[in-house]
Amino acid sequence: MIKPRHSLLSLLASACLTGAMATASADVAITGDWVLLGDVANVTGAPAQRQIAAAPMPGQRMPLASEFIEAQARAAGYPVDLPDGELIWVTRASASTPVTPSPAPQTAPVRNTSAAAISSEPHAENEVPMLTVDVRRGDEITPDMIAYEEMNPNRRVTGLIREAHVLEGMEATRTLRAGQPLAMRDIQPVSVIRSGDPIQLIYERGALRLVVAARAMSDAAAGETVRVQNLQSNRSMDAIAWAPGEARVGTMFAEGG
């Protein structure tokens, strides 16, 4: 069963890799359905448009840990160095609340050209991206699976996806049928680690680097919390999914439970 990934953000914020008390920074104000890498880190160009987390509901706020942001930047090929244990709070303005300029590092809006490559064809206002084939839960959604199709104007879909580039780097959270409108709840970032995968569990601090064999106990995208079992101690612990077959921790391997 695939766990809700919105809850992972709060887990990531409360379980910082260093184990130290997290410090908070000023809020970053956004308006869209996704938090972009460029909203919370000083990156430019296409990597700035990488979707790293679902946005909070209008009028609400949520924290992102600096370790999570660094992992997302690394996955985008644009490493950044943020203070350990820092929390970046993201606020989504309500319909009646004007957005004030954010003090956090920002970049000019630049459309992700690699994402736009999913579907660059012009489409009518009443057309939305739909799948041309059935997609199973956990399968990645690729450009050849998508086409713009006309949607019944009387149909209402909460969180409707209107642009194909939103689907870039995403996988299905459930079995999706061809020819049906897609919603934000139907997708999540592609997992780099799957439950049951053998992985390397890595601890690094300065020049010290320790690696042990482990097994994933949950699915996770890059930068997300993943539950793992240390195969040397048979203990389970939380780590950060870093890359395919690799997770990292900020404490030694004796955590348990």
197: nearest Cα among 225, 218, 223: 218
One domain, residues 33 and 87: yes
pLDDT at 14: 38
243: nearest Cα among 168, 193, 172, 190: 193
Mean pLDDT score, 36-53: 83
Domain of residue 49 covers: 6-92
pLDDT at 196: 93
Confidence of residue 105 (pLDDT cuts 50, 70, 90): very low
82, part of any domain:
yes
Beta carbons of 55 and 90 less than 8 angstroms apart: yes
One domain, residues 56 and 34: yes
79/136: higher pLDDT: 136
What's 229's domain CATH number?
A: 2.30.30.760
Per-residue b/e over 214-226, b at no fewer than 16 CB within 10 Å? bbbbbbbbbbbbb
119/175: higher pLDDT: 175
Question: Per-residue pLDDT tens for 218-248?
Answer: 998 888 889 999 998 899 988 888 888 999 8
22/164: higher pLDDT: 164
> Interhelix angle for 66-75 vs 6-14, to 10°?
120
How many beta carbons lie within 10 A of that of residue 233, not counting itself? 14
43/135: higher pLDDT: 135
One domain, residues 149 and 217: no
Residue 11, pLDDT > 50, answer no
What's 126's domain CATH number?
A: 3.90.1210.10
103, part of any domain:
no
One domain, residues 240 and 179: no
Confidence of residue 13 (pLDDT cuts 50, 70, 90): very low
Residue 130, pLDDT > 60, answer yes
Residue the block writes with tokens 């979707």? 51
pLDDT at 229: 93
The C-alpha angle 221, 222, 223, rounded to 5 degrees, equals 110
